């Protein structure tokens, strides 16, 4: 069993930066791909970024490509999402999720993931 806890959200002005962290319990986490999703009020939860267990491959939604960077430190059981050049449309609750299926090619699909955190609010003011 893996438990995920997000942190690092907050209120920031447009153009600013934040770094989200996803801390995991359980030794197996280092072998799981991990993704970040977000959900704005009245909208579906959408894919933001994902990283494979080794950190060797990363994937991004077009809307965040070039502004967000996902990374991981398996020694600390933590995955990060660095968000630069934030826009008001980035405002949402951000969730991290872990996929225990090795070699998944569907990391942009929320149904692929087995474990979810409780989310952290990111608000970008204009």
**pLDDT tens-digit readout, 1-47:** 899 999 999 999 999 999 999 999 987 888 899 999 999 999 999 99
The pLDDT of residue 31 is 87
The length of the chain, given as a count of residues: 126
Among all chains, which residue has been given the structure tokens 């009020």? 41
The pLDDT of residue 104 is 81
The pLDDT of residue 103 is 81
The pLDDT of residue 40 is 97
Query: pLDDT band for position 105 (50/70/90)?
Result: confident
Handedness of CA 58, 60, 66, 67 (dihedral sign): negative
The pLDDT of residue 119 is 98
The pLDDT of residue 124 is 98
Structure tokens at 64: 């965040």
The pLDDT of residue 17 is 98
Query: What's the rounded mean pLDDT across residues 50-73?
Result: 96
Are the C-beta atoms of 53 and 32 separated by less than 8 Å?
yes
Query: pLDDT band for position 57 (50/70/90)?
Result: very high
């Amino acid at each position: 069993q893996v438990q995920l806890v997000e942190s690092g959200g907050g209120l920031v002005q447009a153009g600013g930066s934040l770094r989200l962290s996803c801390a995991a319990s359980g030794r197996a986490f280092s072998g799981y791909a991990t993704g970040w999703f977000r959900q704005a009020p009245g909208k579906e939860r959408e894919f933001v970024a994902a990283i494979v267990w080794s950190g060797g491959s990363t994937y991004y939604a077009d809307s965040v490509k070039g502004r967000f960077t996902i990374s991981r430190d398996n020694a600390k059981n933590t995955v990060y999402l660095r968000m630069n050049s934030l826009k008001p449309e980035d405002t949402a609750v951000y969730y991290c999720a872990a996929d225990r299926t090795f070699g998944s090619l569907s990391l942009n699909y929320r149904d692929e993931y087995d474990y979810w955190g409780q989310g952290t609010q990111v608000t970008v003011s204009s």
